[in-house]
Amino acid sequence: MQKRRLGNSNLEVSALGLGCMGMSFGYGPAMDKQEAIALLRTAVERGVTFFDTAEVYGPYTNEELVGEGLAPFRGQVVIATKFGFDLDPKLDPRGMKGSPGLNSRPEHIKQVAEGSLKRLRIEVIDLFYQHRVDPDVPIEDVAGAVKELIQEGKVKHFGLSEAGVQTIRRAHAVQPVTALQSEYSLWTREPEAEVLPTLEELGIGFVPFSPLGKGFLTGKIDENTKLESTDFRSTVPRFAPEARKANLALVDLLGRIAAWKQATPAQIALAWLLAQKPWIVPIPGTTKLHRLEENLGAAAVDLTLDDLGEIESAASQITVQGARYPEHLEKMTGR
């Protein structure tokens, strides 16, 4: 597996990471614990060194799973986790309705760090993201709290998630930001306008989550696919049946490119992201070993400038239908 450096930092990780949320949370029932641990360890064997979790996934259970699964590989892998929510014990299983409020007060950040260290069974958090920007806490205070954790040796790197460019600049001035994690893929391209140029200017890495469009870009979902009520995509406007039907045009495009590159639509979608910038590290999630193998195969797919031009030309003719979050969650992005 190729390695990539996140921005100007010294944080080097595998070119593709593994998003771990879906093993515990969000996409229906949690995986069998032993199967999930086997998947995590197989990912390490295949060269993955970058794993993404958060205290809110579960809550708590995903960090515990990642901590147990990666325990034999201390020092060989980079684990990213996140703070920033007030966890409500009445959390809806989809993490949506009645979802937790925001809390990035400095004392809360430090409490979360202590809990995450224990659950992850580590001495230091490699990358600690603010999960969503908290409008009630100045970002300078958030960055200052993480700076103190770094000085105490409890955190190595500071990250932001779904932050807007002014927030990124203000945070970076207090404590250098190593990575921004936001949604980015061929069907979610908003970061291209302002965010990517800002990250390039400041030397910050980019970690796209949902790089396969929450599974849609694999080509395995159409307007007739049944989404269970425990699957949070059932609340997402972009996954409404009529939106799915319209958005299949993008999947058809990936399928055409995949056919002549002897790859799969998912591999083309990931290879496209990898080709955008050398400091982009996508974190596709999966619960299946064969999907893990397929996703990692994307690192070997070489898209030429002509290929990229053809994808760009065709994609520009397609208008993606539907918002990427329900309204109350959409409000938490781009602050």
Q: Is the pLDDT of residue 94 over 60?
A: no
Residue 313 has pLDDT above 80, yes or no: yes
Tens digit of each residue's pLDDT (9 = 90 or more) over 34-84: 999 999 999 999 999 999 999 999 999 999 999 999 999 999 999 999 999
In this predicted structure, the answer to whether residue 188 has a pLDDT above a threshold of 60 is yes
- Give mean pLDDT, residues 153-171: 98
Sequence-distant (≥ 6) Cβ neighbours of residue 24 within 8 angstroms: 30, 31, 36, 57, 58, 61, 62, 65
Q: Which residues of 141-175 are buried (b: 16+ CB within 10 A; e: fewer)?
A: ebbbbbeebbeeebbbbbbbbbbbbebbeebbebb
**What does the pLDDT look like over 239-259, one tens digit per residue?**
999 999 999 999 999 999 999
Structure-block tokens of residue 174: 């207090």
Confidence check: pLDDT of 174 > 50: yes
Please, what are the domains in the chain? 3-212+279-301 (3.20.20.100)
- The pTM assigned to this predicted structure is 0.96
What pLDDT is attached to residue 97?
46
Question: Over 60: is that where the pLDDT of 93 sits?
Answer: no
Catalytic residues: 57
pLDDT of residue 96: 47
Please state, as a whole number, how many other Cβ atoms lie within 10 Å of the Cβ of residue 217.
26
Mean pLDDT of 178-195: 97
Residue 90's pLDDT band (boundaries 50, 70, 90)? Answer: low
Task: Check: CB of residue 51 under 8 Å from CB of residue 78.
Answer: yes
Q: What confidence tier does 100 reach under pLDDT thresholds 50, 70, 90?
A: confident
